[in-house]
Structures are given as structure tokens and as C-alpha cells.
Amino acid sequence: MIEIGKRQTLKVLRKKEMGIYLGEGTPGEQGVLLPGKQVPPGLEPGDELSVFVYKDSEDRPIATVREPLLALGEMGILTVAQTSQIGAFLDWGLERDLFLPFKEQRGRVRKGEQVFVAVYLDKSSRLCATMRVDPYLRSDSPYRKDDPVSGVLYEVNKEIGGFVAVDGRYFGLIPAAELPRELVPAVSVEARVARRRPDGKLVLSVRAKAYKQMNTDAQAVYELIEEYQGRLPFTDKADPELIKLETGLSKNAFKRAVGHLLKEGKIQINEDSITIRR
């Protein structure tokens, strides 16, 4: 059976002016068209060829020798080629762009934007994309606590955190308190496993362990104070949200960094500010 959305090896059934028809070689089989401009020279009926099968603009199965960026069931980053009143179309390396319906978007997307999607078949057996990738992510990763991992951030929820597709296939979450301000959806992230939940899903941290991270945080805080002309207008007693907004650190991480700088004699803590010692 010819499968939509997958690469498969098919036989040349017959040659026509518009191209060749490929199939499994069963009697009376109509087959699927490979357009003439893609037909390798010298092919004859009975020969085999590896092709990817999808549907054309008239909803007919069509073959291509090209390799799409994503096949059925796969996930990855694609670029928005154009938008319309019914959804968006993504560049996935084939002549016809991949359709991303409005209902499968997380917020409206723009031309040129990169999105992390999964490829699925709709009710009409047409290949489409969805940004709602959670059902496609697995929770049986081989990773354990403190293992380094990489993945793609596919959604940000300010209350919960950043959702990550680890290795493009496993569920991961960076808690909101640890999510750097500069991270946005469809960017690659490097992290470590902070813990593995009972259901197998991974809780991630983009920070090193506290004792390793402290020097980095302390340097970042010192540079921030310099940006404020040597006087930071709040201390480690400030509201956690203010600290997070200004430094990108949790209150505890900020306190550790400030304590480290104080111990080194680089700063002075005042009633309502932190200043650099000159």
C-alpha cells in the first residue's frame, strides 16, 4: 500500500509524457505520478525508485524524489513561507508548502517566523503541521538526573515555564523561575536534567549546579551594577519579581551572587541599594 507522508521504494508501472507512474506492481494498479522533470534518466517499467509521497494542490497523491525537511510523525523547526485567511504555509523543502491550520497554531504566526511543529494526516489524509506537539512527545527518554541534554523550546508559559522537545522527541520543562528572559519559542537550548518525574517527563535546568553557577551569576550581577553607574537601586531583600525582571535570576540565586561579591569585597550593601567598592 502506498503511504502518504513517507519515503518508500516503488516500481515504475508505466511511462507517460507527463512523467512516470509508480506503484507496488499489483495488477490494474493506477499508481502515483512522479512529474517528468524529476524522473531520473534511463528508468524503465519494472525499475525501482525511492520517492516521498504527498498530495498536490488538487488533493491527488504525487511522488517526489526530493527529501522533505519533515515526514509524517516527525517534529522539527520550519519557516513560515506565507500566511492566509485559512492558516499558514511552511517551507518544508518541497514544491508545495506544508499547511499549518489556524486551529493548530499557538498564537498567530508571521511570514519568516520559525515554528516548531509535528506533521500529521488530517481527516482527508492530507499532510498538515501542528504547533500543538505535546501528544507527539514521549516520556521514555534514557536520561537521568544531571545528564546534559539539548532540545528545542516550543512554548513559553509565564506561570509554568518553558516547554522543551528534548532531542526533538521527549518532553521536558524548564520551570518559570529558571527560564531566562531571552529564550523564545523555536530556539535551541542546552540544559541538564534537574529531576525525572514519576511519569518519565524531564524537569530541566539551564543553569549549572548552584556552587558552579555562583561565579557566573556574581559576574553578571557585578556587570549589571556597573551598567547602573555603580549603584544598583535595590538589594537582595527586594521583591522576587523585581529581581527576576532586572537580573534574570531567582531571589535565591541573586542572594548567593551578592553574598559572593560581598565576601570578595567588591560591593557594599546599603539600606536600599548595592554599590561597587572603588
For position 256, which CATH number holds? 1.10.10.10
Is 100 among the domain residues?
yes
Q: Domain boundary at 205, 223, 251, which?
A: 205
- Local confidence band at 213 (pLDDT 50, 70, 90 cut-offs): low
Q: Domain boundary at 205, 226, 255, which?
A: 205
Q: Is the pLDDT of residue 215 over 80?
A: no
Is 2 among the domain residues?
no
Each residue's pLDDT tens digit, 242-271: 888 888 888 888 888 898 898 889 999 999
Specify whether the CB–CB gap between 160 and 170 falls below 8 A: no
- Local confidence band at 14 (pLDDT 50, 70, 90 cut-offs): very high
Distance between CA atoms of residues 203 and 174, nearest Å: 6
Q: Domain boundary at 84, 108, 134, which?
A: 134
pLDDT, residue 169, reads 94
Q: Which domain holds residue 117?
A: 75-134
Total residues belonging to the chain: 278
Cell 493548530 belongs to 104
Is 70 among the domain residues?
no
- What secondary structure does DSSP assign to 179-202, as a single string? --TT--TTEEEEEEEEEE-TTSPE
Is 107 among the domain residues?
yes
Angle value at C-alpha 209, between 267 and 167, nearest 5 degrees: 130
- Tell whether 184 and 221 lie within a shared domain: no
- Tell whether 125 and 141 lie within a shared domain: no
pLDDT, residue 211, reads 47
CATH number of domain containing 185: 2.40.50.140
Is 1 among the domain residues?
no
Find the radius of gyration of the CA atoms of the chain: 26
Is 69 among the domain residues?
no
- Tell whether 39 and 86 lie within a shared domain: no
Overall number of domains in the chain: 4
Query: Which are the contacts of 155, defined by CB distance < 8 A and separation ≥ 6?
Result: 106, 131, 162, 163, 185
Is 266 among the domain residues?
yes
Q: At CB < 8 A and 24+ separation, what contacts does 133-137 make?
A: 133/75, 133/165, 134/163, 134/171, 136/73, 136/75, 137/75, 137/165, 137/169, 137/170, 137/171
pLDDT, residue 260, reads 86
Distance between CA atoms of residues 158 and 136, nearest Å: 23
- Tell whether 191 and 217 lie within a shared domain: no
- Tell whether 128 and 180 lie within a shared domain: no
Whether the predicted model's global pTM rises above the 0.75 cut: no
- Local confidence band at 218 (pLDDT 50, 70, 90 cut-offs): confident
- Tell whether 124 and 173 lie within a shared domain: no
Q: Is the pLDDT of residue 212 over 60?
A: no
Each residue's pLDDT tens digit, 79-133: 999 999 999 999 999 989 999 999 999 888 999 999 999 999 999 889 999 999 9
Is 258 among the domain residues?
yes
Three-class DSSP category at 32: strand
